Structure 1
């Protein structure tokens, strides 16, 4: 367990944009199973501008957080948005990268099914704190930093009147993190069930088998 003296947590600002993207390129983008399956990033220097735009949209809302060392090195990132479950996103971004369009289409379908499952289980839920990305530097994993970022999210989500915190996971490991943090599974979509012309769209190795939606009720701090 890392002590808070080793790092501090703060809100992401626009000045952090490039540093956050550098972190995500190294520790998040290339490790997501569906990104690997479509070869979204073909080598270490590859970039997907559409994927970065997707993250920047969440980055600048004033409710996303970083953990940084005393030298301002980013060691963990939590990108968050607040969603009204009964409203359509009026600021949807149009993407052009053909590989990312495959990923985005799947995430939209899986996410939509997750929303339906949430509303079925929690019919009175109106507003959700949506954790879009939770990423930690590999050298700092297992030290409870993601949990600290989630604790801050819970506090802010409560202050903003959210009913639930939501995490959509497309990796076995991120799903295990959600479970470890006390989240409840409400929906699962198997990769093998997502097909076009009768064939699976993604060829993803074990242990990654599904996209999942996890939630946690927000209680007073």
Structure 2
């Protein structure tokens, strides 16, 4: 669906300290009323997560992903994203239950270190959804070289497609000239049993809150599947670039209906 982070960034300690408590803990979303999101105050002693409830039997919480969560988050993504994503299937990135792509996992770990990624957990503390977020700056350099030097040839083909989309979409011409940073929603996955239950909507809205707090002017995402593109549009994102896989040099060709890839943004 989205660009896997391959560019490790050295984050200034002071900046990291300032955003370490970025996830609000005094507000909650209540999804019990259809098509309405209601904010309410939480006691200051509550845990630092948002409580989301669609009905009395279905509840999940949004939390910031921390270093201690990496292993199970990566395991979740390996099972429900890296194996199922159409472009990953096209290159056979992961073939069996015990197979893995170390390079993809390292990129996830690097993005988590930035402190903007989120998870959704149920009442039993089981993961039901994950969003990996990372900042993208106007003057970022080195990403293309890192992608070209990726040791895994399968993952390198995926990265080549994503870098091609990044260059051709001309993101910085689509945002205000004063904008120097956007939030990159690099990867998103929801457990099959929790799809169509507003988990992705909640993760996306919380990501927008974080992006605004760190003064990002927009959120972007790469939609490499038909379904992720539809999800982006439902969330209010605007397509700024689209290309068929057949028109990208040496691109893998996912199965129908995944014939094209798109870049989406949402101005904040």
1:216 alignment partner in structure 2: 266
Determine helix, strand or coil for the equivalent of 2:99. Answer: coil
d(CA) in 1 for partners of 2:132 and 2:258? 22
CA RMSD of aligned residues (A): 2.0
Select which of 43, 46, 65 maps to 1:12.
65
1:59 & 1:74 partners in 2: Cα distance? Answer: 16
Alignment of 1:175-214 (within 5 A): 175-196=229-250, 201-214=251-264
Distance 1:157 1:57 in 2: 18
Distance 1:66 1:30 in 2: 19
| Equivalent of 1:98 in 153, 160, 174 | 153
Displacement of 1:203: 2.6
- The TM-score normalised by the length of structure 1 is 0.89
1:89, CA displacement in angstroms?
4.6
Alpha-carbon distance in structure 2 between the residues aligned to 1:79 and 1:122: 22
Shift of 1:178: 0.3
Q: Unpaired runs of 5+ in structure 1? A: none
Aligned residues of 1:2 and 1:145 also touching (Cα < 8 A)? no
Provide, for residues 55-87 of structure 1, a one-character-per-residue CA deviation record: whole Å limited to 9, x for no partner.
111122111000111221110101001111232
Report deviation, 1:95. Answer: 2.4
Q: 1:113 aligns with which of 129, 144, 168?
A: 168
- 1:41 is matched with 94
Larger Rg: 2
- Change in Cα spacing, 1:26 to 1:161, as seen in structure 2 (3 Å) is same
Residues 190 and 211, structure 1, Cα contact 8 Å, conserved in 2: yes
Among 47, 57, 69, the alignment partner of 2:110 is 57
Deviates more, 1:12-21 or 1:81-90: 81-90
Listed as ranges, the matches of 1:68-147 within 5 Å are 68-89=121-142, 92=146, 95-114=150-169, 116=170, 118-124=171-177, 125-147=179-201
- In structure 2, what is the equivalent of residue 25 of structure 1? 78
Instruction: Give the Cα separation in 1 of the matches to 2:173 and 2:202.
Output: 30
> Post-superposition shift, 1:108?
1.3
Conservation of the 8 A alpha-carbon contact between 1:167 and 1:213: yes
Aligned residues: 212
SS at match of 1:100: helix
Does residue 67 (structure 1) correspond to residue 117 (structure 2)? The answer is no
- Contact 2:157/2:252, CA 8 A, preserved across alignment: no
* 1:150 has 2:204 as partner: yes
Distance 2:142 2:203 in 1: 25
